[in-house]
Amino acid sequence: MPPILPDFSNSVKLKYVKLGYQYLVNHIITLTLIPIMAGILIEVLRLGPSEIANLWRSLHFDLVQILCSAFLIIFVATVYFMSKPRTVFLVDYACYKPPVTCRVPFSTFMEHSRLILKNNPKSVEFQMRILERSGLGEETCLPPAIHYIPPTPTMEAARGEAELVIFSAMDSLLSKTGLKPKDIDILIVNCSLFSPTPSLSAMVINKYKLRSNIKSFNLSGMGCSAGVISIDLARDLLQVHPNSNAVVISTEIITPNYYQGNERAMLLPNCLFRMGGAAILLSNRRSERRRAKYRLVHVVRTHKGADDKAYRCVFEEEDKEGKVGISLSKDLMAIAGEALKSNITTIGPLVLPASEQLLFLMTLIGRKIFNPKWKPYIPDFKQAFEHFCIHAGGRAVIDELQKNLQLSAEHCEASRMTLHRFGNTSSSSLWYELGYIEAKGRMKKGDRIWQIAFGSGFKCNSAVWKCNRTIKTPSDGPWADCIDRYPVHIPEVVKL
C-alpha cells in the first residue's frame, strides 16, 4: 500500500504560501510599478549626454503653457484639500466607576428577587439560572434606588442617578484633558430609556454653564448602539464646523427601568444591565493632533428596522399587569447575526486588505456559478484590526461574534472582562473595553480598533479607530484598582 498522503490543510508550508499570496495581492501596484520604473531608468542610462541634451532641446516650452499648467496644478490641489474631510481626533475619554456602596453581589441580587417576587418562585428560579450563566461577576453595581425593597424608581431618584453618572464622567474628562467648559462647541448626550424634560443635555449645560450658542443634542430610544451613533453625529458636525470641540456622553439610567413583574422576557434585562457611563472628547483642531489618543477612520451603520421581527425583538411595553419592561425576543441572536452580516459586508471593503477581498469575491463567484453549497469564505478581520471591542451585551453575544468572526480568546478578552466587572452598561460598554486594553498596556501607535455595537430597532453599528500614539498604562480610570486581577477565569455556570 502506498504511504498515506499528508493533510495539506494542516501543512506548515501552506502557511507560507498564504502569506506569500497575501503579500503579492496587497502590494500588486508596487510590484507592478517597480519593473516599469526600472525599465525606464535603464533606457535613460543607455542614452548618452548628447542624446539627453537633444531630447531636452526638442521640448518646446511656451510661457502661456507654463502659466496654464501651473494654474491647473494649483487649482486641482486647492479643490483636493478643500474637499478632503477634516480629520476627527479622539483626544481622551473617561468612564464612570460606581462606588462600592452600589455593589450587587449575586447573593444580594437573589435575596432581593425572592422578596420582590415572593409570589412567583418560578420567576426567581429563572433569574437565578440566567445569572449563573450570564458571565457577570460579583462587583457589578446598581443605582441606590434599586437597593430598596421594594425598589423606589421615582423621577427624583432617576435624576439623581443621571447626575451622579454623567457629572462624575464629565468631571473626570475635564480633569484629564484640561478642557474648559467654555471651549465645548458641540454636546451630544445619548440615553435610551430615560428622557426627562428638560433633557439630559440641558442638565449638563446648566451644571457646567456652557455657552449659549452651543450645539446640543439629546438622543433617546436608540438602544445599546447609540454610542456609535453619537460618534457618527459628532463626526458629521465636526466636518462643517472647523476648529471645534465635541463632547459625547453615553450612558443608560437603570433606576426607572427596573422591571418588577413576572414576564420572563422582561426579567432578563434585570440580570444583565448595570450602572455605567462615559464621556468622550472629539476635536478637529490641528493643535490636538499630537496629544490625541485616536483618529476616527470609519463609521458604518446598519438598520434592519424595516423587518417586523427585527423591529420588535427589543421592545418596551407593558405586561399583563400593566408593568412596563423591556421585552427581549427569542429571535434576538438570529436577528443580530443578520444585522452583523450586513454591517461587515459594508465595512469589509473599507478595511480588509486586497488579498482577503479577492478571496471573498472568488468564493462568492464560485458559489453563484459552480456550486451554491460551497462554504462561504469568512474574511479574516484579524488582518484589518489589532483590537476588537464587542458590545458587552451578554455572554451569548460575545460567543457568537467570536465564533462567526473566528477571533481568538485574547481578541474577546476586553469584552468578557468588561461584562464580568461592570455588567452590560449599554452604550458605554465599548469605552470600558477600550480602557481595559489601555490598562493592560497593549495599545501601540498605529494599532487599529473595531468597535461593534448592537441596539434596538434593530441596529448594528461599527466604528473604526487608529491609535495616534502609544498609550501609556493609565494610573487612574475604572480599571486602575483591579486590572492586576484580570483576566479571570469565567466558568460556564456559577452555582448559586
The catalytic residue positions are 224, 303, 387, 391, 420, 424
Q: What share of residues in the chain are helix, strand, coil (percent, to 5)?
A: 50, 15, 35
Residue type at position 355: S
Residue whose grid cell is 417586523: 308
Name beta bridge partners: 94.
279
Q: Please count the CA atoms within 13 angstroms of the CA of 430 that sit on its side-chain side.
A: 32
Q: Which residues contact 205 (CB under 8 A, 6 or more apart)?
A: 187, 214, 216
Q: How far apart are CA 383 and CA 447, in angstroms?
A: 11
Residues 205/194, Cβ–Cβ less than 8 Å: no
Q: Please count the CA atoms within 13 angstroms of the CA of 306 that sit on its side-chain side.
A: 4
Q: Which residues contact 479 (CB under 8 A, 6 or more apart)?
A: 421, 432, 435, 436, 439, 486
Three-state SS for 203-222 is HHHHHHCCCCCCEEEEECCC
Q: 280-307 b/e with 16+ CB inside 10 Å = b? A: bbbbbbeebeeebbbebbebbebbbeee
Q: Quick one: which of 128, 136, 122, 126 has its CA closest to 110?
A: 128
Strands 245-251 and 186-190: parallel
Residues 389/452, Cβ–Cβ less than 8 Å: yes
For residue 123, how far is the Cα from the chain centroid? 34
